[in-house]
Chain A
C-alpha cells in the first residue's frame, strides 16, 4: 500500500466539504443545516492540519489557524442555535423554506 500523502488528506477534505455543501443546500431542517456547516468547517481544518504537517514536523501555524477556526465554529453555533430558539418561539417551525418573512 502507498504511504499516505498530503493529497490523500486533500481528497478526503474535498469530499467532506462537498458532503457538507449538499447538506446545506438540500436539507429543510435548520438544525441539520447547521450540522452540515460543522462538516464544512471540519473539512477546512483537515486541510489546514495536513498542510501544516507537509511543511515539516516543527511547523504548527496551520494547527494554530485550525484552533481559530474551531473558536469561530463555537461562536457561530452558539449564536445560530440562539437565533433558532427565538425563531421557533415566534414561527413554530424549524423548516428553512417556511421562514419567508422577507418574501412577498
Chain B
C-alpha cells in the first residue's frame, strides 16, 4: 500500500497532478486499467445567491485513519494494484477540483467498482466539512447527498 504522499492538498487540486499520477503507474506493467474520479466545486444556487467557493476543513488525523481503513477494505475486496486519494483543504473556487481518486487494477471491472466504492466511502466516512461561500453574502455548511 502506498503511503508516499499526503492526502491533503492546500487549495484546489492542480490538473497536472492527474497526469503525474498516471505517469507514475507506467512502471507497473501488470496495470491494465485506471479508474479516475474528480469532484469539482459547482456554483449551486442558494436562495438568490450562488456558491462561489467551498472552504474545506478536516479532522486530519481521523481522515488518515479512515483512509488506511478504506484502502485495506478495498484491497481485501478487489484485486487492485494501487489506490490514491487527494482532497483539498482550504478554499476551492467553483470550477476547480477538490477531490481526486485514482484506482489502478489489472482489469477495468475492479478498477471501476473500487473507485466507485472509494468515492462513496470518502463522502460518508471522511470527517471533512465544506463551508459554501456565497461571495460577500455569507456562507452555509454543505450537506452531502449520498445518492448523487
A, B assembled together: no
Question: What is A's interface to B at a CB cutoff of 8 Å?
Answer: none
Question: What is B's interface to A at a CB cutoff of 8 Å?
Answer: none
